[in-house]
Amino acid sequence: MNEMLDALKDRIVTEKTVPTTLLGTTYERTMPGSALRRMIVHAITATASDRLLADDSKKVLWPHDALWDTTKELLKVPRPQPVGVASYAAMDICPLFHTHEEGVRCTSRGTKRSSEEMAE
Ligand SMILES: [Zn+2]
C-alpha cells in the first residue's frame, strides 16, 4: 500500500495535478477513512486551486463521498473566520446575488423589502 501511495504522489508531482479520474475507482474499492482516500483528498486540498473544478463536465467523476470528504477537509483549512449569523443578517446580498436591470439595486439595506421585490 505504501508503494502505491508513493507512486500516486509521484504521479501528482509529475503531472502537476491530482488525478481526479481515479476518484470513482478509489471510492468504489476502498473503505471510508482508508489511506488512499485520505491521501487523494489531502492532495486536492493541499495543491489544487479552483481551476481543478472549473470544468463542470468533470463533475460526474466525483463520487458524493469524495466531495463530502474534500469539503470536510477544506473546512479545516485556515480561512477568514465565518462571519456568524448576526453579521450575516446585516450583510447586503444585493450586489452578490440579486438580478436587477442595469444600474438598479436595492436601496433598503438590512430592512424588509417590498412584497413586489420579494416576488422576484
Ligand atoms: Zn437587490
Distance in angstroms (rounded) separating the CA atoms of residues 23 and 62? 6
Cα of 71 from ligand 1 centre, angstroms: 30
Cα of 90 from ligand 1 centre, angstroms: 14
* Residues contacting residue 39 through CB under 8 Å, at least 6 positions apart: 5, 8, 9
Of 15-19, 67-71, 83-87, the least confident: 83-87
Distance in angstroms (rounded) separating the CA atoms of residues 83 and 17? 32
Percent of all residues in the chain with a pLDDT value above 90, rounded to a whole number:
48
In a domain, 111, yes or no: no
Length in residues, the chain: 120
pLDDT tens per residue, range 21-69: 899 999 999 999 999 999 999 999 988 888 889 999 999 999 999 999 9
Distance in angstroms (rounded) separating the CA atoms of residues 77 and 70? 11
In a domain, 118, yes or no: no
Cα of 120 from ligand 1 centre, angstroms: 9
* Residues contacting residue 24 through CB under 8 Å, at least 6 positions apart: 61, 63
In a domain, 62, yes or no: yes
Looking at the 3D structure of the chain, how many domains does it have?
1
User: Which residue segment(s) compose the domain that 25 sits in?
Assistant: 2-74
Cα of 68 from ligand 1 centre, angstroms: 32
Cα of 53 from ligand 1 centre, angstroms: 29
